[in-house]
A and B are shown apart, each in its own frame.
Chain A
């Protein structure tokens, strides 16, 4: 493993002034575009990006518009990671040096449709950074449930009513599934904590082998939140414990943030149109699930 202390720090004062994701057609206040923009600013100009079907490819490549100011291309939906692998080894074969390959996919393209290719890429340990921006549903096609949609979410495929609370399944534990591959570096982040996200992308940039970042990114359109609160709601998700910030490297889990008291889950849910219908019983299910998860993480992941 490389020495993490030797990596030059990146922050808002010293990051490049160039924009690599500009003039795109994402909705106003899009959280996913904040994640992509910041990640590309950290990775720099010598980056190849591969994007499967999803919001970021839909808003970035509207011929002849090209919002990506780096080499970027759209891949097949299930093959984004394979394409990333191919770019990385292809560029190496023609003798390119000092470059990074990044795959930027949504939650559906990662946890559901693109999962097999992703698993294969981690298995081969190709030198690719995979960023999953998680807005908790297939937003690009009109808000359908994905494997990362949490319990009680109202989407067009999980309607709410007398008999259903919305999505009846909990969020897939993607971070631990990825870590179980014994990946070189994996992390979770949130756009509500941008410096933490920048640090993790920077770490992944300097990691040889596959790295994976699962970043929580809000979606005003799909979540029913005001556009200006995009960053705030992603921060609140971390503060109320529904999203955790953690890292996995050298075979060890590390909990980056372990708050003594959580903010109210109720307040977080009440701010979003997609959770407005939830009954007290449903909220109880969400918070008890959170408590169970944190109990397990604190038991196993905290350094002694």
Chain B
């Protein structure tokens, strides 16, 4: 997986620990987006032809190549359903996210 991962944010203890601008270190993610989902994608690897259209069109970039298969980083998937809608083989279905 090439995506950045969630990191712990340590509250600065001194003024010197704060960044000089409003920006923080590139790719620093203190929290996930998984809680946004009401539905989640389920991939049928038998039907998938690895055309990578879902990988190209995912607004959040959560789909990644994993040894010739597609895989999804569920920490950051928001469940928008673009991948399932755009899949030419209907290999992705959106299922209810249950607790």
Known A-B contacts A28-B78, A29-B82, A230-B82; A66 and B25 likewise in contact (beta carbons under 8 Å):
yes
Known A-B contacts A19-B61, A23-B33, A28-B80; A61 and B23 likewise in contact (beta carbons under 8 Å):
yes
CA distance A20 to B25 in the complex (A): 13
In the complex formed, the residue of A with least CB distance to B55 is A12
Does any Cβ of A come within 8 Å of B52's Cβ? yes
Count A-side interface residues using an 8 Å CB cutoff. 42
Does any Cβ of B come within 8 Å of A73's Cβ? yes
Known A-B contacts A28-B36, A66-B28; A231 and B2 likewise in contact (beta carbons under 8 Å):
no
Q: Digitize A198-241: 1 where CB-to-B-CB distance is under 8 Å, 0 elsewhere.
A: 00000000000000000000001000001111111000000000
CA distance A230 to B80 in the complex (A): 9
Chain A hits for B2, CB < 8 A: 17-19
Chain A hits for B9, CB < 8 A: 64
* Other-chain contact of B24, A31, A66, A74, A231 (Cβ < 8 Å): A66
Name B's A-contacting residues (CB within 8 A). 2-4, 6, 9, 21-33, 36, 52-53, 55-61, 64-65, 76, 78-82, 84-86, 94
In the complex formed, the residue of B with least CB distance to A61 is B23
Chain B hits for A70, CB < 8 A: 26
Chain A hits for B27, CB < 8 A: 22, 66-69
7 closest cross-chain pairs (CB), A and B: A228-B81, A29-B80, A28-B80, A69-B27, A228-B85, A28-B78, A23-B29
Q: B26 touching A66 by the CB < 8 A rule?
A: yes
| Among A28, A66, A72, residue most surrounded by chain B Cβ atoms (within 10 Å) | A28
Known A-B contacts A19-B2, A230-B80; A68 and B57 likewise in contact (beta carbons under 8 Å):
no
Name A's B-contacting residues (CB within 8 A). 12-13, 17-19, 21-26, 28-31, 33-34, 37-38, 61, 63-74, 191, 194, 220, 226-232
Chain B hits for A229, CB < 8 A: 85
Chain A hits for B29, CB < 8 A: 22-23, 65-67
Q: A63 touching B57 by the CB < 8 A rule?
A: no
CA distance A226 to B38 in the complex (A): 14
Q: B80 touching A34 by the CB < 8 A rule?
A: no
Q: B3 touching A227 by the CB < 8 A rule?
A: no
- Additional A-B contacts beyond A19-B61, A33-B60 (14; CB < 8 A): A12-B56, A13-B52, A19-B3, A22-B61, A23-B6, A24-B60, A31-B59, A61-B22, A64-B30, A65-B31, A66-B23, A73-B21, A227-B80, A228-B82
Q: A231 touching B86 by the CB < 8 A rule?
A: yes
